[in-house]
Structure formats: structure tokens, C-alpha cells
Structure 1
Amino acid sequence: MDSFFLMGARPLVEFSPSMKLHELLDWSAIAGQLTGLYQREISGAGGPQPYSSLGMFKLMLLGQWHGLSDTQLEQALRVRLDFMVFTGFEPSAGELPDASTICRFRNRLVKAELEQKLLALINSQLEQRGLKVQGARGAIIDATIIPSAARPRQHVEGEGEQARLVDSADSEARWVKKGKHAFFGYRGHTAVDSEDGYVEHVQVHPANEAEINKLPEIVEALSPGIEAVLADKGYASKANRQWLAERGIGDLIQHKGSAGKPVHALLKQFNKQIGSIRFKVEQAFGTMKRRFHLGRARYFGTAKVQAQMCWAALGMNLLKAHRKLKAMELAGAGAP
């Protein structure tokens, strides 16, 4: 139950974006997924009461939603009423979570591998609210490069006699060449639904791992009943087409030519049609990078970068749902 402070503050922030976000979800169901993150919950031992897992998760969502670092998030929580009401934290209750506490909680989530479960749960809630099409059976798959937060492997530090060769702090990041440019980091794969472009699943691998080999793994991770897969030429292979055919899944992968064997004119038209639908996954990447700061990794290691991508996907899905809800409300207000 909210304290008198939070009850009094709620009317002051009820129309803020944070509270609109709060209204989208059933937080009790999400809280059920966050049990057991603290050792004290498992052992039943004494000691200080840990911060609410749900409140900490909400705090992380706010950080993603507003593009705040852990330090900025700590500072915002101390001065913004909407953050306090949204998370349930308040100054009068004692010490508020600091940046290191937020970081440690994120590491707990990563270790528990909860990000995909939370993404699926929240997507299900959006479907129940009519903000996401239920049973969307087409999946659009693509990948994007996420540069590492660290300097590249084997870089030189210092000058002259003081110069020395130093390995990167991000030991799992790898180089990949894309076009005329080389990147050091990761390749993030995303599957979005073909109806509204909500992100359904994400996977992150070192950048040098070819995307062509990841399609079966991504499709199997999606909910059963996928009827068709749309993808660009990067996923085009005989093995992938056969894998889809054996499972009765529609093959809507673009075709690519080879040396001395250009793509047939009819297949070029097919590619064009697929491209007219694939823009939804490109929009998802654009939103996650511009709005939710996925343009560069914030952390080291595949698991943490995958979690970052999942939080960006959650932010994008909630933003899309918020806009759709607003449009529905405006349409309802204008109806006779």
C-alpha cells in the first residue's frame, strides 16, 4: 500500500509519461517473475531488508525510457516525484537505491536470465489490452551491429618508449567488416511481429558470428505457430530454406544472386515486396538506437549486451503501446 506521501504525490504526476507507462501493465504478474533474486529470499536469513525487486525493475525501466545512466537515475529518483510514485521509493522511507545498487540489481537479472521471460510476459499483457495483435504469425528477422563499450582488442596505449600493447577490456567482442567499414562489438538479432512491429525476441552474439547460421535458433525461440519468416539476403541459404520447409513455415527470405548468375526478374520483384514489409524491423532498430541508446553497448560481455538490447526492446514496445493507446483514446473521444 502506498504511504501518505506517495498517495498525496500521485495526483500531481498522474498525467506524466511515467504514470502513463505505469497504467499499461499488470505489475503483480511481473513481480511474480522477480522472486528469488536476493539470497535473503532463498535462505530466509536475517539482515537488512533488500530493496523491492519490482521497484528496482521499474527503476531500470525508467532509466531505459529516459536514457539515463545509473548515476543519473540515482539523482533523478531523489528529485522527481513521478519517479518516486512510479517505483514506490520515497525519501522518508530511508536511503534510496544508489547507482551501485542499481548496477548490482541489473547483474542479478542478467544472471537469472529473466530478460526474455519479462519481454514475453509484457508482450502478452499488451495483447490482452488490445494494444498488440494477438496471434500475429509472421516474424520479421534481421540483425544490427552494436559497437562495444570498450576499445578494440590489441590497441596501443602511450607513446614512444612508453607505448604498450593492451588487450580490450571486452574479451567477448569481435571485429566484423560491413561494407567498407570495420566494427568491433556484437551483432544483435531481432524478431518483430509482421503486424505492428513489436519486438518478440532478441539475441546477441559476437559480431564475427555470421547471421546466416542464427535463423533456426531465433525461430525456435519464438512462440509456436509461426507461419512465415521474412528476412533479408543475409539469411538466404539452402539450409535455412530447407529447415523452414520441413516445419511448414513460409519462406519469405529475400533471394540473392551469385557470380555469373544474377537474380531472376521475378525474384527481384519478390525481393521488393519483402522489402516493403521488412521496414518494420528497420524501424525497430532505429527506435532502439535513437530513443533507447542501443547505438553502442553500455556493458562488457555478450550476456549483458543482450540484456541491454532486451531492455531497449521493452522500452520500444511500451512506447509503441503508449502511442497506440493514446491514439485509441483520441479516436474514442472523437466518436459521436
Structure 2
Amino acid sequence: MKQTTFASLAFERKKKQTRRERFLGVMEKVVPWAALLAAIAPHYPTTGRRGRPPMPLATMLRIFFMQQWYTLSDRAMEDALYEIESMRRFAGLALTDDAMPDETTILKFRHLLEKHGLTGQMMNIINDTLEERGLLLKGGTMVDATIIHAPPSTKNRDKQRDPEMHQTKKGNQWYFGMKIHVGADVNSGLVHTVSVTPANASDISQLPELVREDDRALFGDKGYVNNQLKRLARKAGLFWGVSLKASKAHPLTEADKRFNHKMSSIRARVEHVFRVIKRQFGYTKVRYKGIAKNAAQVFSLIGLTNLYLARRALMS
């Protein structure tokens, strides 16, 4: 039993539940905690500093997830645990009874996940859970990509930009960073496959990685136009729902425009994934150097995004 303080009593008796409390309450119910903890446990240390027991694994995983949901650095996460009661409660910590993990402890847990490729495993575990509930189906895939910015400044210790990030031109605007490519279920809009590349990688280059073997339909925007792949897909019995691209020699006919409109209405659901990542979770700029570290964060964000999009069905 943990000691009840005046602050905790005041928190319980307040008249309004905040959006953060409601969100954390929902995610508490929909995250498959047992399966995720079982995947991490074999890699988690059994002793901490100077032989003392480490922070509970469940607490560290919850802290890691809150970092993704609220775009918090290791230091900002440590401060939030001291300042915000709802976050402490979600992590299973009490200000008077428990030691708060410092930013170094939080950093080491993130490095542990990166070292053993555990964020990708967590995304797969989440998707397996969704598939068991009948929420992630097979049969068709929507593909899309989005750019995540990286700092273009060279005013740093190395006097250069991140060498693993690259620039690309979209329309008349240049962007520097990396690109997230996703393959999403056409029925639910949930992501089943992810790849992360520098921003200058073409969308079409990642298409073979995003389509499942048992897919019977593919939907994408004009960035995936490729006549050779189109012929191969049709030969394999795959419906090719990629939007048609106009050219000076071959402008779009009215039938082509109707086809593009219909395909756009189908693949529009894949945009919901990027809305949640960028607007709900605030992930618009890379936090780390190098593709591998940022890809590890992307895998965890995609898994959590799938849970968020399917939260109502999971709670029903």
C-alpha cells in the first residue's frame, strides 16, 4: 500500500477529468501489456546500479510510450514525472514512495530497445493482437509515404548535416530529412508494413517491401506509377489501383479522372495514420541522428498509432 498524500486526494476529488487522463485511461486498456513485456523481459537487466534492483520493466515501458505520445525528450520526461500526477499514475509511481527514474535511466531503456530491435517486435506484437481481434485483415493494401524533417543546420560540433539524411524536392519546395513508407490494410486503414529511408528515396522503390504476398488489390497515388510493375501485378492477378498520371502527350480523359477520383476515395484512409503521428503525437521532426535510431522510434509510433485508430473497436 502506498501512502495517500493531500496532493493525491486533491487529484482524485477534482471536478474535471483532463484530456490527458482520458487518453491515458484509454491506452491503458488497449495496449497488450503482457505480450509486450514478455518480449522485452529476456533483454532487461536484473540488477541496477551497484547491485540495486532496476526500475520495474512495466514502469519503464509506460514511460517510453508516454515519450512517444507527448514528444518528450529524456530530460523532459523526467521533469514531467515530477510535475504531472496523471503521468506518474500511468507509470505506476507515487511521488512520496517511489524513486523517479532520471533521464539517464530513461535513455538507457531506449538504447536497450534500439540495440535488440525491440520496437519492431512490439509493432508486430500489436499487429498480431489486432489481427486476432479481426481488425487487421488481408486482401488489399494502400501505400503512401510522408517526409519527416531533420535539422538542416551545420552549426553543430561536426559542422555538417546528418549524412544519413538527404534532401528532396516536392513540388517547388525542397525538404531535408527522412521518409516513412507504409503499407496499410485497405479495410481498416491500419499499417501492416513500414520502411524508413532517406527523403530522396522514391516512393516506388519501396513498393515491393510494402505489399503482402496474399494481397489482391493495391492502391496508391501518382508517385507509384510504373508501367512495368503494373503489367507484373495484373499478370499475378493483383488489381492495380494506382492513380493515373497525365502527360503533355497524353492528358487525362474524363474516364481517367473518374478512375482517379474513385481510387483516391479508397486510399484516403491511409492519410489518417500520418495525421495521428504528426498532429496527435506531434512527430514532425527527427529527434536523433541516423536512420536506424529514428526508424526504431517510427516502429513504436506506428504500433501505437494502430492501437489509437482501433481503440473503439478494442474497447467494445
Q: Secondary structure at the match of 1:308?
A: helix
CA distance in 1, matches of 2:158, 2:39: 45
Q: 1:251–1:54: structure 2 CA closer, same or farther, 3 Å change rule?
A: farther
Higher mean displacement: 178-187 or 200-209: 200-209
User: Structure 1 residue 241: deviation in Å?
Assistant: 2.0
Q: 1:106–1:240: structure 2 CA closer, same or farther, 3 Å change rule?
A: farther
The structure 2 residue matched to 1:106, chosen from 106, 110, 115, is 110
CA distance in 2, matches of 1:54, 1:225: 36
CA distance in 2, matches of 1:242, 1:108: 44
* Equivalence map 1:115-264=2 (5 Å): 115-129=119-133, 133-148=135-150, 150-152=151-153, 155=154, 166-168=159-161, 170-220=162-212, 224-245=213-234, 247-264=236-253
* Equivalence map 1:275-314=2 (5 Å): 275-314=264-303
Alignment deviations for residues 296-315 of structure 1 (CA, whole Å, 9 cap, x no partner): 11111111222232333233
CA distance in 1, matches of 2:196, 2:277: 14
Structure 2: 5+ residue stretches without partners:
none
Question: Which residue identity lines up with residue 197 of structure 2 in the other structure?
Answer: H
Question: Which residue identity lines up with residue 308 of structure 2 in the other structure?
Answer: L
The structure 2 residue matched to 1:64, chosen from 50, 68, 85, is 68
Alignment deviations for residues 108-159 of structure 1 (CA, whole Å, 9 cap, x no partner): 2122222232122223324545xx62424322110111111x334xx4x59x
How does the TM-score come out when normalised to structure 2?
0.83
User: Structure 1 residue 324: deviation in Å?
Assistant: 4.8
User: Structure 1 residue 325: deviation in Å?
Assistant: 5.7
Q: 1:63–1:205: structure 2 CA closer, same or farther, 3 Å change rule?
A: same
The structure 1 residue matched to 2:59, chosen from 55, 60, 65, is 55
C-alpha contact 2:233 2:240 (8 A) present in aligned 1: yes
Higher mean displacement: 255-264 or 289-298: 255-264
How many pairs are equivalent?
306
Identity of aligned residues (%): 30
C-alpha contact 1:24 1:126 (8 A) present in aligned 2: no
Q: 1:87–1:236: structure 2 CA closer, same or farther, 3 Å change rule?
A: same
C-alpha contact 1:119 1:310 (8 A) present in aligned 2: yes
User: Structure 1 residue 177: deviation in Å?
Assistant: 0.9
User: Structure 1 residue 319: deviation in Å?
Assistant: 2.5
User: Structure 1 residue 24: deviation in Å?
Assistant: 1.4
Q: Secondary structure at the match of 2:183?
A: strand
Q: What is aligned with 1:85?
A: 89
Q: What is aligned with 1:332?
A: none
Question: Which residue identity lines up with residue 38 of structure 2 in the other structure?
Answer: G
Q: Secondary structure at the match of 2:124?
A: helix
Q: 1:165–1:181: structure 2 CA closer, same or farther, 3 Å change rule?
A: farther
Q: Secondary structure at the match of 1:166?
A: coil
User: Structure 1 residue 79: deviation in Å?
Assistant: 4.0
Question: Which residue identity lines up with residue 28 of structure 2 in the other structure?
Answer: H
User: Structure 1 residue 17: deviation in Å?
Assistant: 2.8
Higher mean displacement: 27-36 or 303-312: 303-312
